[in-house]
Structure 1
């Protein structure tokens, strides 16, 4: 459950990063379009300031993606350890069950053998 939650958070972070990068691409296209018509110095300053803020947001989102990826790896490692332990315990329980079944089969066979001997001795007497 926790593994799925962490995977979901990583996916969300990746989607957001993709959206930011797409927005940056669109914004840069706007620069090309506007630049062909001519822009004022104020417009250029605003564009550069906003692009800088967008780059900062993209950098932060990349760090978020990396953090969630690292967290997912940690959680996956814990899950794998717990799963391996659980599988080991399942095998141990199965072995004990098999040993108990074999022991019961031996007891039953011994009783049947004793019963057969008694019957055989009774027939001979």
Structure 2
């Protein structure tokens, strides 16, 4: 009886496995997007630091007011780009957290179903063992009864 219960769960487990695989695949894609966004942010931050170092070097040689205004304008644009990319990274991080939670839920559901099937199979084995033991006990009792009748 328990074996049939386990067999009836097979399509459910297959669907749960597919859902878990899909969630894992989506998590991988989202994590890749997050890494790319973090890479772009790092590139922008390094570029900004390099640009500031160049300004310091140029400033030691003397600069015009126009050059300084252009520098400040460009630095402001870089700061805006960095802030925008930071928001992008934060969004990707939040999205990755949501997708990870979904994957964890699907994985936990799958594992729960697998444990249920294992329990059903264990119960079926135990019931079969008890049935076999009863048959052996009955056979032994009949043999003992026959032996006693013969003597």
Tell me, yes or no, whether TM beats 0.5.
Answer: yes
Structure 2 CA distance for aligned equivalents of residues 52 and 83 of structure 1: 46
Aligned to 1:113: 137
TM-score for both structures, normalised by structure 2: 0.79
Q: CA RMSD in A?
A: 1.0
Match of 1:44 in 2: 68
Q: Which runs of 5+ in 2 are unaligned?
A: 1-24
Q: CA deviation at 1:122?
A: 1.4
Q: TM-score, normalised by structure 1?
A: 0.94
1:68 pairs with 92, 105, 119, which one? Answer: 92
> What is the aligned partner in structure 2 of residue 26 from structure 1?
50
1:103 is aligned to 127
Q: Which has the higher contact order (CA 8 A, sep 6+)?
A: 2
Matched residue SS, 2:63: coil
Which of 102, 112, 115 aligns to 1:88? It is: 112
SS at match of 1:50: helix
Alignment partners' CA distance in 1, 2:146 and 2:70: 111
Q: How many residues align?
A: 125
Question: Which consecutive segments of 4 or more residues in structure 1 shift more than 6 A?
Answer: none
Which residue, 36, 61, 82 being the options, matches 1:12? Answer: 36
Instruction: State the distance in 1 between where 2:30 and 2:68 align.
Output: 41
Between the aligned partners of 2:117 and 2:91, the Cα distance in structure 1 is 39
Alpha-carbon distance between aligned partners in 2 of 1:77 and 1:16, rounded to the nearest angstrom: 26
Deviation at 1:72, TM superposition (A): 0.6
